[in-house]
């Protein structure tokens, strides 16, 4: 029997998960919480095999809750179950100690497989996320200055406006923008904005 602790701030989501997961003979939900702050305390009380953790929570985030849990209970096994899967969030979750990451749009079978994999202490990531992380490691880093410029590009600023905001020459901005497009492997500013949001390089 694999025991589960659910951390999700939506009651309907938790109820649906309990109903679905407990159709399986080897899965049992033994605890629920709607705030990340309660994770470590509940874990100590219930000692579940797997913590199914949402990312967006009131108070501390799922990533912060995972990091706090792993600090207190290094053997805890966490599967992040989130609506979102931006590259920076996936990387942060893994760095915090999560063993798996799955989007809520995944199929029920994928969720069951992920839970059983994480319960064995093994990493569980969808193939597309694995490939994206590999590609990202192989790509040149976006520098802090390029991030600044990218954020201003995403806000719709022209090169002249960016130059005035940062106190640098317009030609320098043009060079930065060209390098950004090359590094992100895109053709224009709109594509750069979309790719930057997907990777979590700029916030919306």
Find the domain containing 183 and state its range: 139-199
Which pLDDT does position 88 carry in this prediction?
82
- 163 pLDDT above the threshold of 90: yes
Residue 51 placed within a domain? yes
> In angstroms, what CA-CA distances link 196 with 53, 132, 142, 204?
25, 14, 10, 10
Residue 204 placed within a domain? no
Which pLDDT does position 143 carry in this prediction?
87
pLDDT per position as a tens digit, 27-65? 999 999 999 999 999 999 999 999 999 999 998 999 999
Distance, in Å, from the CA atom of 31 to the CA atom of 13, rounded to the nearest integer, reads 14
Residue 83 placed within a domain? yes
Please indicate, yes or no, whether residues 79 and 109 belong to a single structural domain of this protein.
yes
pTM higher than 0.85, yes or no?
no
Please indicate, yes or no, whether residues 79 and 64 belong to a single structural domain of this protein.
yes
Q: Among residues of the chain, what percentage have pLDDT more than 70?
A: 98
Residue where a domain terminates, one of 113, 136, 159: 136
Element spanning 103, H or E: strand 100-103
Residue where a domain terminates, one of 120, 136, 152: 136
Please indicate, yes or no, whether residues 25 and 102 belong to a single structural domain of this protein.
yes
Domain count of the chain?
2
Please indicate, yes or no, whether residues 128 and 159 belong to a single structural domain of this protein.
no
> In angstroms, what CA-CA distances link 200 with 71, 92, 193?
26, 11, 10
- 16 pLDDT above the threshold of 90: yes
Mean predicted lDDT score pLDDT of the chain: 92
CA 126 to chain centre: 13
Q: Is residue 1 very low, low, confident or very high in pLDDT (cuts 50, 70, 90)?
A: very high
Please indicate, yes or no, whether residues 128 and 146 belong to a single structural domain of this protein.
no
CATH code, domain with 44:
3.40.50.2300
Residue where a domain terminates, one of 81, 107, 136: 136
The arithmetic mean of pLDDT across residues 119-143, rounded, is: 83
Please indicate, yes or no, whether residues 132 and 143 belong to a single structural domain of this protein.
no
Please indicate, yes or no, whether residues 40 and 20 belong to a single structural domain of this protein.
yes
Residue 57 placed within a domain? yes
Higher pLDDT, 131 or 119: 119
Distance, in Å, from the CA atom of 95 to the CA atom of 105, rounded to the nearest integer, reads 23
- Contact predicate 135/148, CB 8 Å: no
Please indicate, yes or no, whether residues 33 and 125 belong to a single structural domain of this protein.
yes
Residue 28, SS3 per DSSP:
strand
Please indicate, yes or no, whether residues 125 and 147 belong to a single structural domain of this protein.
no
Please work out, in degrees rounded to the nearest 5, the angle formed at the alpha carbon of residue 43 by the alpha carbons of 42 and 47. Answer: 125
């Amino acid at each position: 029997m694999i025991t589960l602790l659910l951390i999700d701030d939506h009651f309907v989501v938790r109820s649906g998960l309990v109903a679905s997961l407990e159709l399986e003979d080897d899965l049992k939900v033994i605890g629920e919480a709607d705030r990340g702050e309660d994770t470590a305390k509940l874990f100590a009380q219930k000692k579940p095999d797997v913590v199914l953790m949402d990312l967006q929570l009131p108070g501390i985030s799922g990533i912060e809750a995972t990091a706090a849990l792993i600090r207190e209970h290094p053997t805890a096994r966490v599967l992040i179950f989130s609506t979102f899967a931006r590259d920076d969030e996936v990387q942060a979750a893994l760095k915090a100690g999560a063993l798996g990451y799955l989007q809520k749009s995944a199929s029920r079978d994928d969720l069951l497989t992920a839970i059983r994999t994480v319960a064995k202490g093994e990493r569980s990531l969808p193939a597309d996320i694995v490939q994206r992380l590999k590609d990202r490691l192989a790509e040149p880093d976006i520098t802090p200055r390029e991030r600044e410029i990218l954020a201003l590009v995403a806000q719709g600023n022209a090169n002249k406006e960016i130059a005035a905001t940062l106190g640098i020459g317009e030609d320098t901005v043009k060079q930065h923008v060209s390098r950004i497009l090359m590094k992100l492997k895109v053709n224009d500013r709109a594509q750069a904005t979309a790719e930057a949001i997907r990777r979590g390089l700029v916030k919306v």
